[in-house]
Structure 1
Amino acid sequence: MNAKRASDSQKQRPEVGRILADFCAELKFESMSAAAVEAAKRGIADTLSVALAAKAEEVAGVMGGFFAEEPGKARVWNTALRTTARNAALANGAMAHAHDFDDGNYAMVGHPSAPVLPAILALADELAASGADIIAAYAAGVEMEGRLGIAVTYEHNGRGWHTTSSLGTFGAAAAAGNLLGLDGKLMLEAFGIAASLASGLRQNFGYMTKPLHAGFAAQNGVLAAKLAKAGMRSSPNAIEGHEGFFDLFTDPEKLNADEAIRDLGLSLELIRNNPKLYPTCSLVHPALDLVTEGIASGEIVADDLEVINVGVSYHALNLMRYNDPKDALQARFSIPYCIAAALAHGDVTLGSFSDQSVAGNEIRGRMGKVNAYVHPDLSTKEQFEKVYTKGAAFTEIEAVHKSGKIHLKRQSVAVGNHQYPAPPERLRRKFETCAALSVGKPKARDLWNMLMKLETVQWSEVDSLLDE
């Protein structure tokens, strides 16, 4: 009886894979609104810049050495290497996620651009792609990630999957397939292949393999699209069919398949991407906004603090699990460390996350003032999911001073969220600061200007600015 009910339920599901495959294959630059094009250019610029900022990171060094003997046409960022498209997608995807400074997306519950853009640009040279082609492919990739995220709901993430990898694999396949010119039938083949490549475990958060997840997604998306174009076939129901992606990666009873294809094309998902202003897990960003703003206004006096209580969701404390981080990778997932860094410097920047900073006493000496706890209104999966889907999950800080002054404040979304956009100048400064770590300040400014008119140029013109 249970098997029959499951079978009946699957028969009632819409053909999500086919519908999204057709949409992603047919999405063209000319069909995009001006707002979507601008959002795409900002997302592309932001992602490239944070990847360039990873030049000195250990993950970049590993990638550069790993592919030195596999030549090809695709650039490995931050190096003089050219390698195969798949290798470049892996290396560049890992670098794009190395600092956890890449953008997020609520529907996806993950990082949309780090898997998608490296997949696109790994193919851009061999395809002589235009900027307009890249914008359309980027839009297709992010749409696929967001729409699948809507379908599998928070339940998918809540089971421990790293959506940047699991959903990012589909996004990268959609983006690569769009750039390769796959039609809807071949795009569906690519999705079926991608379904068997999707993975990514949250247990690896705080280790080098966490950013590698974005690289795996980018690499596997390129592989899936290229295999489909070469003639590899897959189940047309790999996403919604029996024992397919939906059945295995979420709770079928919570599946939201109809909503995933509702109003497709009316408003592209990339408009709801959220650039980051701090190079940490985004779950601490509302708290960092409150602390840095409190310090700037004088409401919080770091040297007078008795304790700062930080109330977050069970989900935030589960992911940000390192109360005593051992290195910079773990520090990005430590609420006490991130808050202490803000108290020490009034801001949290790339410089806050060197291994020297983590080991030193300037920040660590303030960690004892930070009490991170699960707020009683957000203590269960059910409580959190209910408010998260409405954008109402919150962080509450209570700064208790030795003088007796108490500063109590609550915030739901961080600055940079599409509901609370960051000033454009702040995003430009972030780009130039990050990109300059690889190409220097003059080229970083030129690169920003070129990317802001991406639809009018060939990618090769942008790529030339990345030469060392």
Structure 2
Amino acid sequence: MERARDAVIDTLGCMMAGTKDPSVAAVTAAFGNEISASGSGWLVTGRYASPSVAALVNGTAAHALDFDDNFHPARAHASAVLVPALLATLHPQRPIGGKQFLEAYLTGLEAQAAVGFGVNPSHYNRGWHGTSTVGAIGTAAGVARLLGANIEETAQAMCLATSMASGPKGQFGTLAKPLHAGIAARNAVEAALLAMSGSGGRLDILERPQGFLDLFGGGEARGWADWRLDEAHVIETRGLVTKRHPCCASTHRAIDALFDLKQEHRLSAGDIDRIDVKVGISAARNLAYPRPENEMQARFSMPYCLARAMLQDRLSLSDFAPAALRQADVLALMPRIEMHSYTSGEEYGHDRLPHVLTVTLRDDTGLKSQRLHAKGSIEVPLDAGQRRSKFVDCVYWGSGHATDDLYDNLLDLSQSTSASNLLNLLAASS
């Protein structure tokens, strides 16, 4: 429950930070005629809308800056879909306790892991964005749980979400990428509402011919014949990766490895002749912008992110503002940074391989560091102070003001008798 609470708080911070992003502005403009001063679905941008539009706007905001968490079993940004979808179903006239809200979150996360088990990693590697596919299907179970659905209705919610699942990774580095999270959150809400209103499909749609596995799985997908629920929840066995850096997770292990070398050897940019990083195949495909032209592309650029990491002690949201991309010292260092990937033969049979960073100094000395897990993972977690600091920074980025009071109040979420109070806290701080 504490891990779920921390994931919800982190996502709320990311959601508030993304409020002013162009991807969010486009969504609110497109559906402006459905947004008003009152309604059932609170928007992080202010005002209200239907649950569907609220999930769409808030999900896009949660993923807009790529600062939200990662969930490896689903190969998805799990919480950026789950939290906005669950928020969209809250209503003052339907009392839901904070504990119920977190239980629904945990249901959706476990369901995402279960769906991901059968199709990943080949589903993700062949180009599907798990956030908008696996994320939508699993989140539908969480929404159904929060709405009080029975087992049949929950299964049908997941079934219908399967018919809505889509999202190619070829959209990475564009405004469509955060929109994937918003669409997935909206799809999960609508699938649950449809299922509870009598709609439905084939309950074997994941595994049957012409179903999800058949069409989306890829050559190495294993299906669900060997899948079993563990006694411990997946949030405790695999956990989430709470992001330390506001950019694509495919860059994080290399960034952390570079920070390790900088601290150990007291390196400065003037010492560097070149930097080479070896990453997984899917990571290399995700990072498609060696010379980014805008802030969204910069989040998916290994040379840009490593140049930034070499020049400063931490990466912040301001490093991905338009003016930051034109800084001369960053532009000078980027051409000396190269990325390549493992071969398919090297990756075969491995769920995960380390990202390896090699720094060659001007005197030809070679330094090497590698990371199997990024800072923020369950193996190398952020501490309480780092989580708080990130949340406060996110709120300040989105609103221009920040307070520790909001964070402290959110820490009591599991004890709250009304999850709707969460919306009141957020509205007062946005």
Counterpart of 2:70? Answer: 104
Displacement of 1:254 in angstroms is 3.4
**TM-score where L is the length of structure 2:** 0.94
Distance 1:296 1:250, change over 3 A: same
**What secondary structure, in the 3-state scheme, does the structure 2 residue paired with 1:309 have?**
strand
2:200 counterpart of 1:240: no
Q: What's the Cα RMSD here?
A: 1.7
Counterpart of 1:81? Answer: 47
Counterpart of 1:379? Answer: 343
**Deviation sequence 1:364-386 (CA, Å, 0-9, x none):** 22101212222xxx211x53252
Whole-Å separation in 2 of the counterparts to 1:280 and 1:407: 25
The one-letter code of the counterpart of 2:173 is G
2:12 counterpart of 1:42: no
Counterpart of 2:233? Answer: 268
Distance 1:449 1:439, change over 3 A: farther
Counterpart of 2:56? Answer: 90
The one-letter code of the counterpart of 1:103 is D
8 Å Cα contact 1:132/1:456 also seen in 2: yes
2:141 counterpart of 1:165: no
The one-letter code of the counterpart of 2:420 is S
**Deviation sequence 1:44-86 (CA, Å, 0-9, x none):** 0111101111122111222333333214221110x22100000
Displacement of 1:427 in angstroms is 1.5
2:237 counterpart of 1:303: no
Counterpart of 1:192? Answer: 159
Displacement of 1:244 in angstroms is 1.3
2:184 counterpart of 1:214: no
**Deviation sequence 1:393-437 (CA, Å, 0-9, x none):** 111112111134332122211111112212221112111111223
Whole-Å separation in 2 of the counterparts to 1:342 and 1:168: 30
Higher mean alpha-carbon deviation, 236-245 vs 274-283, is at: 236-245
8 Å Cα contact 1:74/1:84 also seen in 2: yes
Distance 1:233 1:408, change over 3 A: closer
8 Å Cα contact 1:327/1:359 also seen in 2: no
**What secondary structure, in the 3-state scheme, does the structure 2 residue paired with 1:108 have?**
coil
Whole-Å separation in 2 of the counterparts to 1:209 and 1:461: 32
1:438 to 370, 379, 398: 398
**What secondary structure, in the 3-state scheme, does the structure 2 residue paired with 1:230 have?**
coil
**Deviation sequence 1:229-268 (CA, Å, 0-9, x none):** 11112112112222111111114763231333x1x25122
2:99 to 129, 132, 136: 132
Whole-Å separation in 2 of the counterparts to 1:351 and 1:218: 27
Whole-Å separation in 1 of the counterparts to 2:65 and 2:225: 35
Whole-Å separation in 2 of the counterparts to 1:211 and 1:372: 25
State the identity %: 29
8 Å Cα contact 2:59/2:181 also seen in 1: yes
Counterpart of 1:6? Answer: none
Stretches of structure 1 lacking an aligned partner (at least 5 in a row): 1-36
Counterpart of 1:11? Answer: none
Displacement of 1:307 in angstroms is 0.8
2:183 counterpart of 1:224: no
Whole-Å separation in 2 of the counterparts to 1:180 and 1:278: 34
**What secondary structure, in the 3-state scheme, does the structure 2 residue paired with 1:207 have?**
coil
Counterpart of 2:409? Answer: 450
Whole-Å separation in 2 of the counterparts to 1:166 and 1:204: 14
The one-letter code of the counterpart of 1:408 is K
Higher helix share: 1
Displacement of 1:156 in angstroms is 0.7
Distance 1:163 1:385, change over 3 A: farther
8 Å Cα contact 1:115/1:171 also seen in 2: no
**TM-score where L is the length of structure 1:** 0.86
**Deviation sequence 1:256-304 (CA, Å, 0-9, x none):** 31333x1x25122223111110111111111101112322333422112
2:376 counterpart of 1:416: yes
Whole-Å separation in 2 of the counterparts to 1:386 and 1:128: 48
Whole-Å separation in 2 of the counterparts to 1:395 and 1:58: 32
Distance 1:428 1:321, change over 3 A: same
Whole-Å separation in 2 of the counterparts to 1:236 and 1:311: 42
The one-letter code of the counterpart of 1:62 is A
Q: How many residues align?
A: 421
